[in-house]
Amino acid sequence: MKNSTIKTFIFLGMIGSILVGIGEYLLHFLPDGPPGEVSMLEHVPLSRASKGHFFSIIGLPFYFVGYYGLKEFFKKMSNASFANLLYALGNLAFIVGGIWISSRYFGAEVLQRSQGTADHAFYLKSYEEHYQILVWALRIIIAGLSIVFVLLILKNHGGLPKWLAFFNPIILLIIIISSLFWFKPLGVHIAPIAMNVTHFIFFGVMLWAVNNQVELKQARS
What letter represents residue 206's amino acid? Answer: M
> What pLDDT does residue 35 have?
85
Please give the average per-residue pLDDT across 54-62, as a whole number: 97
What letter represents residue 190's amino acid? Answer: I
- From residue 28, alpha-carbon distances to 18, 101, 136, 141 in Å are 15, 11, 17, 22
DSSP state of 162: G
Please give the average per-residue pLDDT across 93-114, as a whole number: 96
Please give the average per-residue pLDDT across 186-198, as a whole number: 96
How far apart are alpha carbons 184 and 17 in whole angstroms? 22
Please give the average per-residue pLDDT across 36-53, as a whole number: 94
Of the candidates 148, 40, 41, 53, the residue with the CA atom closest to the CA atom of residue 93? 148
What letter represents residue 45's amino acid? Answer: P
Is residue 19 exposed (0-12), middle (13-18) or buried (19+ Cβ within 10 Å)? buried
Please give the average per-residue pLDDT across 180-203, as a whole number: 96
pLDDT digits over 148-161, tens only? 999 999 999 888 99
Please give the average per-residue pLDDT across 35-57, as a whole number: 94
Residue 219 — pLDDT band, cuts 50, 70, 90?
low
> What pLDDT does residue 6 have?
96
